[in-house]
Amino acid sequence: MASHLKDAAKKFLLLGQCVPTIKQNAAKIRVKRLELDENLLMYFRKDEFYYCYDPNKICKTGDVVLIQSLPHKMTKLITHEVKEVVYPLGDVTDPITGKKVAKERYRDDIEKEAELYGKLESSFDYNKAKPRGWQDGKKDFTSKPTYTKFNVFDKEDPYAL
């Protein structure tokens, strides 16, 4: 039965999160699944990783993306392609209403409250905020290539896999 599920999963669209990778023209996507433990009758999370063809680099680390299997494998690892970025990292949208969210509140509600009670000088204005990626190379290093760590050091390196 498990093989039938895996065959079906390859034919449908999958939703996953982009994680760092060292492959060129490819994105590594983590798809979360729930697996039933027959003895405990409980579901436990199981992550599956797919390498997806992404020549235009439309997804960045942390983005939630939609992927689909390719009709034939491009390489031994690359079996899927990135269809679209559903939710970019840091730009949270409520999936039911389609409104933008800041923490636990809608941005529209925050703006209405600011009009009623007066806007604080220290409040953040989302309409004037620059899009994600403007700090690329300054404070945002998600586009930098990661590398495989071959030595074990006392200090942990955040860019190594």
Per-residue pLDDT, 41: 95
- Model pLDDT, residue 160: 65
- For residue 26, give Cα distances in angstroms to 2, 5, 12, 96, 151: 27, 25, 19, 31, 25
Q: Given this model, what pLDDT does residue 91 score?
A: 74
Distances in Å between the Cα of 116 and the Cα atoms of 33, 110, 113 are 44, 10, 5
- The per-residue pLDDT string of the chain (161 residues; one tens digit each, 9 = 90 and over) reads 566 666 665 568 999 999 988 888 899 999 999 999 999 999 999 999 999 999 888 888 889 999 998 988 888 999 999 999 988 887 778 889 989 888 889 989 988 988 898 887 777 788 788 877 777 777 766 666 665 666 677 777 666 65
Q: In this predicted structure, what is the pLDDT of residue 88?
A: 85
Amino acid 149: pLDDT: 63
* pLDDT recorded at residue 130: 81
Domains of the chain: 2-87 (2.40.50.140)
pTM over 0.75: no
| pLDDT attached to residue 1 | 53
For residue 138, what pLDDT is reported? 75
* Greatest C-alpha distance within the chain: 60
Nearest to 143 by CA among 34, 39, 20: 20
Among 104, 99, 102, smallest CA distance to 124 is for: 102
Cα 59 to the center of its chain, rounded Å? 8
